[in-house]
Amino acid sequence: MAAVPLGSGGTSGAADAAIRKIVAAENEGQPAPQMAGRIFWSDAYKERFVDRRRGALAMTGRTRIAEGTFQKIVRTPVRIVVAESGDLAYEYEAAVLTIALKDGSSRTSDVSLVRVWQKNQGEWQLAVDFAAPY
C-alpha cells in the first residue's frame, strides 16, 4: 500500500468548503454521505472498532451515554487537511453530544473526532470516524 502525500498540511479551498458544508448539514440533522464500508471507532461502545453494516451497537457505561438516548451532536471542524491528490482528506473536530436521559433531563459531553473523508464519484463521503470523549 502506498502512502498518500498530504503536502505541507495545507487545505484545498474547494474541498475544505465542501466538507464544512456537509458538517453544517449534519448539525441540522442530515446524515453525512458515507462510503459503503465506513468504519466507526469510539470509546463509548463495547466494541470500539465497529463496521456499521453489522447493525445495532451496544454502548458501555464508561461515558454514561448508555443511560439515555442520543439527542443531537453539534460539530465544529478545527482543521481539514486534503491530500495532494484531492480525493482524500482528514478532519479534526470538536463536538458536543447531547443525550436525553430517562428521567427527562439531558446530559452533554465534549467529544474529539478525527474523520477521514474520501471523494467518491465527485462526492465527499465519510470513510472512517475515530471518536473519544474528553
Fold of 13-133: Nuclear Transport Factor 2; Chain: A, (3.10.450)
Element (H or E) spanning 5, and its range?
Answer: none
Give dist(CA 108, CA 63) in Å, integer.
11
**pLDDT tens-digit map of 25-48:** 999 999 999 998 888 887 766 555
Q: Where are the domains of the chain?
A: 13-133
**pLDDT tens-digit map of 53-110:** 554 444 444 444 556 676 788 999 999 999 999 999 999 999 998 888 888 888 888 9
Residue 129's beta-bridge partner residues?
40, 115
